[in-house]
């Protein structure tokens, strides 16, 4: 059996779809199944069993011999939440419990880390283990992810293979439920349909023009391809960046959304909300050398390709992946 935590979520549900397409139907889906707004993310997918998030650790203790691989994608991901105790419980301690069981029973583990661990990029965006303890995340979410990475790297007892994936700005289908935390493409699509225009955050950094803020946007279909590669090839264990290796501006993103909808551009700017302004990243770009050296060769969608596919085949049709 293959376990996917965060099964109702954006990346988790897309990963289950990918696993099904590759012929895997013995999926253990783990999540808080009281979240009815996420139910459509699993419609039409083949699962072996659903296990509640609170019951999963005890379930894994009982059924570990039947588990072949674990994708621990589930996490509290709200970067505007500042209650450290929530992240300590759901991201740090919960993941430690999964790691320890995987180590004891020789179960390979891929877990979700985050590019939020890099903070303002003071030490660059290289998935080098030597810099992990120096990193300065900008919020409790990033702290929780980095705290686990630090802990994992110190463990003598490890799963037979493990990878912590530092997701950059992932976008794509199955994020209808994410609200404020959904991708800018999702918000652009909705704003264009509602009022014909898109409002982007104004730059509050003199080094960047309005809309010129740079991010490494990675399409979720590429993310799940990398997840499959790691399962099938089990390269050297460790932390791996998961972006494209090329940063693009929010203006590029918005303009490509208008283009995918065949609508004239109508872009304006608003101030970045004060609650996130002093924690705002103006540049991220994944160094992808490690993953490429590990043998990953399937490439990545360009921003133009990814936005077109997402908008035309999913958002415009209200379809799920």
Q: Which of 257, 250, 254, 251 is nearest to 215 (CA)?
A: 250
Active site residue 317: no
The catalytically annotated residue of 71, 118, 141, 310 is: 141
Domains, the chain, in order of start with CATH, read: 2-171+217-245+285-300 (3.40.50.720)
Active site residue 141: yes
- With beta carbons less than 8 A apart as the criterion, state whether 140 and 279 touch: no
Q: What's the confidence (pLDDT) of residue 91?
A: 81
| Phi and psi, residue 219, nearest 5° | -75, 140
Q: Which of 283, 273, 149, 151 is nearest to 213 (CA)?
A: 283
Q: Hey, which residues does 199 pair with through a beta bridge?
A: 268
Q: What's the confidence (pLDDT) of residue 178?
A: 86
- With beta carbons less than 8 A apart as the criterion, state whether 122 and 136 touch: yes
The catalytically annotated residue of 178, 259, 279, 308 is: 178
Q: What's the confidence (pLDDT) of residue 180?
A: 80
Q: Within 10 A of 9 (CB to CB), how many other CB atoms are there?
A: 25
Unique residue bearing structure tokens 């794509």: 172
Residue spans of the chain under pLDDT 50: none
Q: What's the confidence (pLDDT) of residue 140?
A: 86
Using CA atoms, how far apart are residues 302 and 23, in angstroms rounded to an integer? 27
Q: Token pair of 198, please?
A: 């898109």
Using CA atoms, how far apart are residues 194 and 197, in angstroms rounded to an integer? 8
Q: What's the confidence (pLDDT) of residue 278?
A: 78
pTM for the full predicted model: 0.94
The end-to-end CA distance of the chain, in Å, is 22
Using CA atoms, how far apart are residues 76 and 81, in angstroms rounded to an integer? 9
Q: Which of 157, 42, 141 is nearest to 90 (CA)?
A: 141
Q: What's the confidence (pLDDT) of residue 79?
A: 59
């Amino acid at each position: 059996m293959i376990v996917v935590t965060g099964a109702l979520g954006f990346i988790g549900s897309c990963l289950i779809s990918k696993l099904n397409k590759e012929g895997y139907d013995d999926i253990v889906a783990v999540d808080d199944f009281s979240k009815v707004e996420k139910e459509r993310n699993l419609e039409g997918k083949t699962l072996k069993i659903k296990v509640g998030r609170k019951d999963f650790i005890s379930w894994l203790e009982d059924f570990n011999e039947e588990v072949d691989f674990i994708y621990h994608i589930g996490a509290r991901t709200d970067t505007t939440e500042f209650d450290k105790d929530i992240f300590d419980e759901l991201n740090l301690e919960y993941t430690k419990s999964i790691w320890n069981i995987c180590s004891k029973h020789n179960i390979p583990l891929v877990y979700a880390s985050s590019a939020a661990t890099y903070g303002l990029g003071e030490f660059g965006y290289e998935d080098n283990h030597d810099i992990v303890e120096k990193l300065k995340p900008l919020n409790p979410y990033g702290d929780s992810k980095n705290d686990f990475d630090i802990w994992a790297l110190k463990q003598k007892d490890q799963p037979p293979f493990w990878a912590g994936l530092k997701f950059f700005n992932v976008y794509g289908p199955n994020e209808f439920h994410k609200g404020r935390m959904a991708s800018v493409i999702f918000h652009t699509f909705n704003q264009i349909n509602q009022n014909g225009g898109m409002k982007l955050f104004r730059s509050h950094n003199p080094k960047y023009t309005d809309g010129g803020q740079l991010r490494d946007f990675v399409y979720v279909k590429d993310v799940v391809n990398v997840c499959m590669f790691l399962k099938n090839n089990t390269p050297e264990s460790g932390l791996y960046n998961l972006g494209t290796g090329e940063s693009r501006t929010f203006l590029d993103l918005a303009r490509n959304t208008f283009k995918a909808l065949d609508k004239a551009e109508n872009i304006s700017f608003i101030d970045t909300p004060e609650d996130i302004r002093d924690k705002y990243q103006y540049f991220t770009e994944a160094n992808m050398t490690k993953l490429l050296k590990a043998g990953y060769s399937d490439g990545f969608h360009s921003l133009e390709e990814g936005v077109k596919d997402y908008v035309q085949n999913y958002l415009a049709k209200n379809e799920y992946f």
